[in-house]
Amino acid sequence: MRMTVLFTLLLLSQTAQSAFVLNSTRYIYTEANNSIPIEVSNKSERKYGGQVSVYLDGTESDQITTETPVVLPSPPVFKSGPNSKQRINLRMINKEALPTDRESLFWLNVLEIPMSTRASGASGNSIALAMNIKVKLLYRPDAISEQRQDAESQIFYRASDNKLTIVNKSPFYFAISQLEIDGKSIYPTDEVTRSNLQKLSPYSAVDIGDIQVRKGQDVIITSIDDWGATKQYTLVQELVEITR
């Protein structure tokens, strides 16, 4: 029995794929929105259960109060038949507690739960995997919404003492998926730095490490826009004011 279970685990680890697909890789919730819809498609031939949850980045469950900005999914739990679609409405409460001069980041989670297979006569040793889809949900205040176009021009690089830093001087979150110098990738390998680039927060800076940028070299990023498309941008070096 142990051998059978082990073999099944190995097989699942190689072949398991999510049955659920979302209609976007990120969602924008503007201040003017009362709610926004998302669509969950079941691309498989099986029945699944689904559970939707949303939380504010950096907020633990024990930190939530009656005044915490919360996004409520409706319905939060659903059943999904083979090759079907489910519409979910997201409604935010307490959004007045969020900053009005910059974006706020939430995480949307859609948990895919396989329906029980015992009724169909499956072996008691069968294993069901619950898979989770996690994407960004950005809250965008009205005061900055018209500034989003070409906001990547407000990302700069700082090069000093053989250290490279990426600087975001805008009120927007950016997802930087690639970083190059003259066409050579220097994208960081450590998870913390990669995560900080993939959710480059407003008015922040990310240290890349001991990387020298020589005169005449181009620092290029690949950024993902509101619709999930990628585009390259050549960064301008940050100007440092000298006080005399």
Show the low-confidence residues of the chain (pLDDT under 70): 1-16, 60-66, 117-128, 240-244
Kindly report, residue by residue over 69-101, the tens digit of the pLDDT: 889 999 999 999 999 999 999 999 999 999 999
Which residues partner with 44 through β-bridges?
Answer: none
Q: In the CATH scheme, what is the homologous superfamily, with its name and number, of domain 17-144?
A: Immunoglobulins (2.60.40.10)
CATH no., domain 148-236: 2.60.40.10
pLDDT for 68: 79
pLDDT for 161: 81
Q: How big is the CA angle at 234 (ends 229 and 240), to the nearest 5 degrees? A: 130
Whether 17-144 and 148-236 share one fold: the answer is: yes
Kindly report, residue by residue over 130-157, the tens digit of the pLDDT: 899 999 999 999 999 999 999 999 999 9
DSSP one-letter string for 32-96: T-S-EEEEEEE-SSS-EEEEEEEEETT--GGG--TTS-EEEEESSEEEE-TT-EEEEEEEEESGG
The amino acid occupying position 243 is T
pLDDT for 162: 84
DSSP secondary structure code for residue 118 in this structure: G
Query: What are the two backbone dihedrals, phi and then psi, of residue 52, each rounded to the nearest 5 degrees?
Result: -115, 135
Q: Within 10 Å of residue 238's Cβ, how many Cβ atoms? A: 16
The candidate with the shortest Cα–Cα distance to 179, out of 162, 163, 165, is: 165
C-alpha to C-alpha distance for 94 and 214, rounded to whole angstroms: 48
pLDDT for 130: 82
pLDDT for 243: 46
The candidate with the shortest Cα–Cα distance to 187, out of 177, 196, 173, 174, is: 177
Tokens of 223: 């950024």
Element (H, E) at 220: strand 219-224
pTM > 0.95: yes or no: no
> Do the beta carbons of residue 233 and residue 155 sit within 8 Å?
yes
Cα radius of gyration rounded to whole Å, the chain: 22
Question: So where are the chain's domains?
Answer: 17-144, 148-236
C-alpha to C-alpha distance for 45 and 32, rounded to whole angstroms: 39
114 prior amide bond cis, ω within 30: no
